[in-house]
């Protein structure tokens, strides 16, 4: 049994936003998955869609969003800030930001500053996961942990 499994409870279901263009593939032995529209985020847990969410970003998308589409992203962050458990998952590491391994002319310091603003102004953590596979694993673990805590 994997460490993320619960043998004494019903299997949870991840809700993948219907607009998510490249959805993660989660371990079907651990968790189910369905696609439907979410009010906020790209991933949630069935029954907790208004309380738990993960917003997924590639590094290029994250940089573009926090620098050039900040006003629109602010609305998403306001929604996420009201959730019991929410985060932004970036499919890259902080060293990728510092090494400017993204498109565009944005300085790494501006990306880091925007990241800190998300945390300090909205209380929404930004998790740099290193790559897509690690981000998928983290997202599954985050959602399962939130599901296990749902009654608390």
Question: Residue 84 is part of a domain; what is its CATH number?
Answer: 3.40.50.10130
87 is a domain residue: yes
6 is a domain residue: no
15: helix, strand or coil: strand
33 closest CA partner among 19, 48, 21, 44: 44
pLDDT value for 1: 37
What is the number of domains present in the chain? 1
Which stretches of 1-111 are assigned E, i.e. beta strand? 13-16, 32-35, 43-45, 52-57, 85-90
CA distance 136 to 141: 9
Beta carbons of 97 and 57 less than 8 angstroms apart: no
3 is a domain residue: no
Other Cβ atoms less than 10 A from the Cβ of 57: the count is 20
116 is a domain residue: yes
85 is a domain residue: yes
pLDDT value for 152: 55
Q: Per-residue pLDDT for the chain (152 aa), expressed as one digit of tens each?
A: 344 434 345 789 999 999 999 999 999 988 999 999 999 999 999 999 999 999 999 999 999 999 999 999 999 999 999 999 999 999 999 999 999 999 999 999 999 999 999 999 999 999 999 999 999 999 999 999 999 998 65
136 is a domain residue: yes
Instruction: Tell me which residue has tokens 């400017």.
Output: 100
94: helix, strand or coil: helix
Q: Which domain, by its residues, includes 130? A: 13-148
129 closest CA partner among 71, 88, 85, 68: 88
């Amino acid at each position: 049994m994997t460490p993320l499994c619960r043998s004494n409870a019903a299997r949870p279901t991840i809700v993948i936003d219907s607009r998510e263009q490249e959805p993660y593939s989660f371990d079907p032995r651990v968790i189910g998955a369905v696609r439907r529209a979410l009010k906020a985020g790209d991933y949630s847990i069935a029954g907790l869609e208004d309380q738990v969410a993960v917003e997924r970003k590639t590094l290029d998308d994250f940089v573009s969003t926090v620098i050039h589409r900040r006003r629109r992203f602010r609305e998403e962050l306001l929604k996420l800030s009201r959730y019991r458990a929410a985060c932004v998952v970036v499919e890259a590491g902080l060293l990728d930001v510092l090494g400017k391994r993204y498109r565009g002319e944005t300085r790494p310091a501006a990306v880091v500053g925007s990241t800190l603003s998300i945390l300090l102004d909205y209380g929404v953590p930004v998790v740099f996961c290193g790559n897509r596979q690690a981000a998928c694993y983290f997202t599954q673990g985050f959602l399962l942990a939130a599901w296990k805590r749902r009654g608390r």
